[in-house]
A and B are shown apart, each in its own frame.
Chain A
Amino acid sequence: GAGVSQSPSNKVTEKGKDVELRCDPISGHTALYWYRQSLGQGLEFLIYFQGNSAPDKSGLPSDRFSAERTGGSVSTLTIQRTQQEDSAVYLCASSPAGPYEQYFGPGTRLTVT
């Protein structure tokens, strides 16, 4: 079956521009997570959705970062006024509700120039 998909796979943007990253979770998975993978910080949790609600946003690094999820499915991570330190691979994962395995997408590599 289809796994978690993310788009775009690569994004190069200029400092100060806004970007949107998309995640399509596995159908029926109610939990959705965003993580960031960078050389300096490793893999970091950003935000968790259960359905369309985000009960845990504690990992978002600044108010330039926001995310939403609609229809209990697709999620968009938005970074406003991008900075060079935002350069990283952004990973999305989904799972059924509860303590189940998270399935990861291939990631979006963001480069801020």
Chain B
Amino acid sequence: GNSVTQMEGPVTLSEEAFLTINCTYTATGYPSLFWYVQYPGEGLQLLLKATKADDKGSNKGFEATYRKETTSFHLEKGSVQVSDSAVYFCALSYGNNRLAFGKGNQVVVIP
């Protein structure tokens, strides 16, 4: 089937620290991959995407590279800010562009 696995548990880190959130996927065919973000009190927003192997998606200092050989799409940011505190969801699209999401990771950035 088509599914996404994110690392367990919340992530707490200090401002200006390096952030990595792991994401691996299982899919038939060649899905597009996404990171969505949900800021407190707001709806889901697309953060970045990649549509084929070796593509790198980037936005707001965040990056993720579509790695077909390791079926991964890890999210990274070199220097986080307090305003990056949110829940981050990895997702893939398949079928009629429907999305399959990971469980999400709460990121808390401490000043």
List A residues at the B interface (Cβ < 8 Å).
31, 33, 35, 42-45, 48, 50, 55-56, 59, 91, 93, 95, 98-102, 104-107
Contacts and interface: CB of A to CB of B under 8 A. Distances in A.
A10 B101 CA distance: 23
B32 interface: yes
Q: Is the interface of A mostly helix, strand, loop or mixed?
A: strand
Interface of B: 32, 42-46, 49, 51, 89, 91, 93, 95-104
**Most chain A Cβ neighbours within 10 Å, of B32, B45, B51, B97:** B97
Contacts, number: 51
B101 A42 contact: yes
Nearest to A91: B44
A55 B97 contact: no
Given A101-B49, A104-B44, A43 B101 contact: yes
A31 B95 CA distance: 13
In the A-B complex, the 3 residue pairs with the smallest Cβ-Cβ separation, listed nearest first, are A43-B101, A104-B44, A106-B43
